[in-house]
Structure 1
Amino acid sequence: MKDCEIFSQLKVPDTAIVRVDGRRFGKVLRKLQFSKPFDIRFANGMVESIELFFSKSGINPVLAYLFSDEVSLLFIGDLPFNGRLEKIDSVIPSFISSALALNLGSPDPMSFDSRVCVIDFKDIIEYLTWRQEECWRNLVSSYAFYLLRDDGFSAKQAAERLKGLKSDDLHELAWGYGINLSETPAWQRRGILVYKQKFEKNGPNLLTGANTKAIRTRIVKDWEPPIFKTEEGARMIESIL
């Protein structure tokens, strides 16, 4: 019967991105009475869940980029489970799902779906730029939709009102309600970057008592990352890689 597991030996190449995306979070977030379109409590829950993933899962991504309920985890040459696709696409989203439910105190189960993006090393910045641009599009459309909802539009009416509008039109709509989208918090506009950083720490040698330097690792949570398609953004990503 082992032969029926026809996908069990599918493997992912050395460099890949695992992207997980929240599934039907709306009902849970309403029960938790979170604000729309963004709530810092949800963002904190997402970041804390990714920090737990870095520190407790035994899996070692190079970095994680997240916005809204989406997370992209980059792996370079250190894929878990020897690159087995089924394992990667099941263990990673299940860990993050359980971590988020715990962090938010969710009254209901929560789940993420998962996909693997095979990518060349040279295309990593382009991928992150693509997701960061999606972060901006998500911000613009979300603000526009919920501003209309707060103004008395039904969900159907708001969707009809926004149908066919371009980004500039949505920006103007938000401006009409007194919201300058360019001045919203950076984490809403640019997303959040989580990665490990090595640093030197001075301290006494436990055996000799002499002062020594040791290399330690800490988890960095950057709530104001640069725009990745700029020189500053590219330099930052290259320094992490």
Structure 2
Amino acid sequence: MKLWKKLGFPKPKSEASKGELSLVDNEIYSGVVVPEGYYYFVRLDGWCFHRICKELKLKKPFDRFLATALCKCAEEFFNIFNCSLAYSFSDEINLLFLKKPGFERIEKIDSVFAGIASSKATIELRKLKKFDFVIGFDCRVIPADKKDVLRYLIWRQAECKRNCYNAFAQIALEKKGFCGEALSKRLAGKKISALKRLIKKEGLLDKIKPWHEKGVLLYWKKYRKKGYDPIRNEEVIVERRKVFVDWNPVLFNSASGKSFILNLMKNGMV
């Protein structure tokens, strides 16, 4: 019995050559594809980014230069694959696709997208300082139906908020002399309200920017510009679109946030 059958996988869809010596049937993950009838998110997570922050001496707990570099990474997927929407925070990039980007194999999406993100991040971060260590991203695909698109964004934004307050609380405790295991124990299990009180007590609450707490949202936005029609020999108004980067996005779990995302989807702007 062929290995993919033995292990219960779909038939491989490898692009490798077939023949007497071929082990294509052992490429068991190549047959796993994006399921039909679903939208899907691709989530990219930075690998060993704590080292990057340390080596580049980035501002703690959040650095606008790094956040901008990740937005530039996200924009690559709009330009190459016509990504529908992107949401980024910390070292994470979430890409929404309403249509397949020309291929459907999970294995290929994960490998190609991680490679593009790693390459683009390297290019952008080397604008600050040249370095010789490796930047990497892991990658996963998350299918979602229409209602789950909004749920997913709410979930990731909640994680962003938690990450924000935890990071600033850590800075607050470091100011009080805590470090290592003692610091971790003080933060363990604390709710956002408790973290917020700690941050306020140390005078750091006003340091929190909207993008620290709510992340950064990227989406297509239509605009009009003057053009020229050579056939009619006259100026015309043409409609174009560009990627808009919102550093103060709506709260996705609010009424206005839900309406905003659903309208983007309804109007074909994602």
1:86-235 maps to which residues of 2 (within 5 A)? 86-105=107-126, 107=131, 108-180=133-205, 184-235=208-259
Task: State the alpha-carbon separation in 2 of the partners of residues 29 and 115 from structure 1.
Answer: 23
Q: Deviation per CA, 1:58-92, whole angstroms, max 9, x where unpaired?
A: 2121100111111111111x212431111111111
Q: Deviation per CA, 1:4-41, whole angstroms, max 9, x where unpaired?
A: 11111211034111111111111121110001111111
Q: Deviation per CA, 1:184-218, whole angstroms, max 9, x where unpaired?
A: 21101111100112333221113442122323121
1:7 paired with 2:29, answer: yes
Q: Residue type matched to 1:118 in 2? A: P
Give 1:37's match in structure 2, choosing from 55, 61, 74: 61
Q: Which runs of 5+ in 2 are unaligned?
A: 1-22, 266-270
1:153 Cα offset (Å): 2.1
Partners of 2:74 and 2:95 within 8 A in 1: no
Q: Residue type matched to 1:239 in 2? A: N
1:33 partner SS: coil
1:51 paired with 2:72, answer: no
Task: State the alpha-carbon separation in 2 of the partners of residues 19 and 111 from structure 1.
Answer: 13
- Higher relative contact order (Cα pairs below 8 Å, separated by 6+ residues): 1
Give 1:69's match in structure 2, choosing from 91, 102, 107: 91
Task: State the alpha-carbon separation in 1 of the partners of residues 188 and 73 from structure 2.
Answer: 35
Q: Deviation per CA, 1:151-175, whole angstroms, max 9, x where unpaired?
A: 3322222112222322222111111
2:162 partner SS: helix
Partners of 1:20 and 1:70 within 8 A in 2: yes
1:83 paired with 2:108, answer: no
Normalization by structure 2: what TM-score? 0.83
Q: Residue type matched to 1:135 in 2? A: C
Partners of 1:81 and 1:88 within 8 A in 2: no
Using the TM superposition, name which of 83-92 and 157-166 deviates more: 157-166
Aligned pair count reads: 237
Normalization by structure 1: what TM-score? 0.92
Partners of 2:78 and 2:84 within 8 A in 1: no
1:12 partner SS: coil
Query: Which portions of structure 1, spanning 4 or more consecutive aligned residues, are displaced by more than 3 angstroms?
Result: none
Partners of 2:103 and 2:109 within 8 A in 1: no
Q: Deviation per CA, 1:74-111, whole angstroms, max 9, x where unpaired?
A: 111x2124311111111112111111111011612211
Residue 3 of structure 2 corresponds to none
Using the TM superposition, name which of 2-11 and 201-210 deviates more: 201-210
1:109 partner SS: coil
Partners of 1:149 and 1:155 within 8 A in 2: no
Q: Which runs of 5+ in 1 are unaligned?
A: none
